[in-house]
């Protein structure tokens, strides 16, 4: 059930507006499908390039399971807190929506901080994306995900401002629904990265 169908529009204008937001939700689903294809290609490229270390360090020598596990924890919890924000929006609790979005933002920002710290640490150890095909594929895959998370954080800030100013109107809750789809998609993509990149690289 989309956010646009949570309340029953009574007037023709409200029904037309609800249908518009349903179409936008469908369009966003199509965007996510395209994004999933991009990530699938990046995963495939990484899998092919794993042996291409060019005599340089491997994942076993570079990756930190503790760091990756903490990143995973932050993102999984942020997905849960975003779910609470969605539930609060259905209940019409604007303050609770803003509170849970703030918590989600902080968790996502913590994730980005750990990722940037990992990247800068690798580059300082002469293990940047130009060191080998393996590292180039790693930085591209993980960096693309990090870029998406950063855009999600910006979206959370913008949407929080809209909730604070406009309230939980149908357009705002419709955007919140689409942001939720995007954020949960990033969560799923990260679980794939953790499973395909970090665990095999350390075991």
Condensed to tens digits (0 to 9), the pLDDT of residues 41-84 reads 999 999 999 999 999 999 989 998 899 999 999 999 999 999 99
- Quote the pTM value: 0.87
Alpha-carbon separation of residue 58 from 39, 41, 132, 149, 175 (angstroms): 22, 21, 10, 26, 42
Residues 127-148: what's their mean pLDDT?
96
Tokens of 42: 């990046």
Phi/psi region, residue 97 (left: phi>0; alpha: psi -120 to 50; beta: rest), is: alpha
Percent of the chain's residues with pLDDT above 70:
88
pLDDT at residue 2 greater than cutoff 50: no
Instruction: Return the CATH number of 30-202, one of 3.30.70.890, 3.10.180.10, 2.40.40.20, 1.20.120.80.
Output: 1.20.120.80
> To which residue do tokens 């689903």 refer?
29
| Whole-number pLDDT of residue 12 | 65
Residue 117 to residue 203: CA distance in whole angstroms? 22
Residue 129: band (very low, low, confident or very high) from pLDDT cuts 50, 70, 90:
very high
- Average pLDDT of the chain to the nearest whole number: 90
pLDDT score recorded for residue 116: 97
- What digits encode the pLDDT tens for the residues 156-167? 999 999 999 999
């Amino acid at each position: 059930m989309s956010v646009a169908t949570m309340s029953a529009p009574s007037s023709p204008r409200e029904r037309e507006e609800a249908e518009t937001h349903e179409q936008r939700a469908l369009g966003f689903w199509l965007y996510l499908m395209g994004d999933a294809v991009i990530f699938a290609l990046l995963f495939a490229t990484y899998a092919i390039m794993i042996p291409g270390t060019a005599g340089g360090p491997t994942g076993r020598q570079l990756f930190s399971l503790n760091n990756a596990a903490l990143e995973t924890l932050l993102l999984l919890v942020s997905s849960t807190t975003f779910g609470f924000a969605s539930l609060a929006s259905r209940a019409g609790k604007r303050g609770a929506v803003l509170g849970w979005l703030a918590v989600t933002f902080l968790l996502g920002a913590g994730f980005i901080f750990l990722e940037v710290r990992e990247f800068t640490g690798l580059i300082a150890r002469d293990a940047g994306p130009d060191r080998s095909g393996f590292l180039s594929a790693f930085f591209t895959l993980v960096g693309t995900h990090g870029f998406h998370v950063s855009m999600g954080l910006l979206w959370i800030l913008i949407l929080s401002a809209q909730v604070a100013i406009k309230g939980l109107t149908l357009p705002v809750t419709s955007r919140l629904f689409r942001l939720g789809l995007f954020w949960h998609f990033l969560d799923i993509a990260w679980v794939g990265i953790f499973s395909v990149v970090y665990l095999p690289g350390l075991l």
